[in-house]
Chains A and B, each alone.
Chain A
């Protein structure tokens, strides 16, 4: 069962190859927000990691901001009937 493209069999722990790692890195690159602008050009993996870190930080910041906005909306609007309607339509 040698479907893996591993060329070198390291003795001991890992059978992880550079190819597998660059495959994972390119999957990460495709998740980045401007993936479609870059078409299929591969960025160096350090750049991919850097952009991924920035993207994750941005998303964390957005979660913070949206939590604050939701907190304000919870205080001012009557959400319970809207929520019940949403949950019903989601689970139908």
Chain B
């Protein structure tokens, strides 16, 4: 006899509470459906194409790209994120160069899921480039304390005036929060299936 008191909910029904919560979230603001659309489209492409070991990284990049696509192109942070994604794609190696790189990394000891590599990814997550690849932005004259930390966290923050930095930060923060809510909602949704 099954000790569970309730059977799992039937999939794809509109009475699914996670589904209702998700749709309520999407209706809360005009930009959220587009955010969800971009991200879901990327997810289905990832599911079909990306090998399993690279999925986490690819999903994370898709999250930032979707955020940037759903945002207004007037926003410097959104342009910066899309520019970084473009630069990364053009740096992608093809053919023989890729084969050689694979041989080199196969010999290296550190696995991608090690804590050190993971924390390095987290630190770089905001701008999606490693600290070694991009020089730290020079401290701007007249910046209040801790503004330089903010410049490192907000994409494209390095060259801005302090006033613009504050505006961009607010917008970036709102978009980032919406993206996290979206991903959490999707996790809830797909966990129920």
A interface with B by C-beta (< 8 Å) = 14, 16, 20-21, 24-25, 27-28, 31, 45-46, 49-50, 52-53, 55-57, 59-64, 66-71, 73-75, 77-83, 85-87, 89-91
Within 8 A of A (CB), among B137-193: 144-147, 149-150, 153-154, 161-163, 166-167, 169-170, 172-174, 176-177, 179-180, 183-184, 186-187, 189-191, 193
The interface residues of chain A lying within 8 Å CB-to-CB of B177 are 31, 59
In the complex where A28-B169, A91-B33 touch, is A70 in contact with B122 (Cβ < 8 A)? no
- A62 nearest CB neighbor, chain B only: B180
Contacts of B167 in A (CB 8 A): 24
Complex CA gap A69/B33 in Å reads: 22
The A-B contact count (CB < 8 A) is 152
Q: Which residue of B lies closest to A33 (CB)?
A: B177
Chain A contact residues, majority secondary structure = helix
Return B129 CB to nearest CB of chain A, in Å: 13
Contact at A64–B122, with CB atoms within 8 Å?
A: yes
B26: chain A residues within 8 A (beta carbon): 90
B44 interface contact, C-beta 8 A: yes
B122 adjacent to A61 (CB under 8 Å): yes
In the complex where A77-B190, A79-B44, A86-B19 touch, is A59 in contact with B176 (Cβ < 8 A)? yes
Among the 9-residue stretches B52-60, B85-93, B99-107, the one with 4 or more Cβ atoms under 8 Å from chain A is B52-60
Could you write out 9 A-B pairs with CB less than 8 Å apart? Answer: A14-B161, A49-B150, A56-B173, A60-B125, A63-B64, A66-B184, A66-B187, A67-B59, A79-B47
Q: Is the CB of B125 within 8 A of A49?
A: no
**Contact string against A for B residues 109-123, beta-carbon threshold 8 Å, 1 for contact and 0 otherwise:** 000000000100110
Is B163 a contact of A73 with CB atoms below 8 Å? no
Q: Are A73 and B166 in contact (CB under 8 A)?
A: no
CA distance A71 to B61 in the complex (A): 12
CA separation between A28 and B60, bound complex, in Å? 25
Q: Which residue of B47, B52, B180 is within 8 Å of A66 (Cβ)?
A: B180
The smallest beta-carbon distance between A27 and chain B, in angstroms, is 6
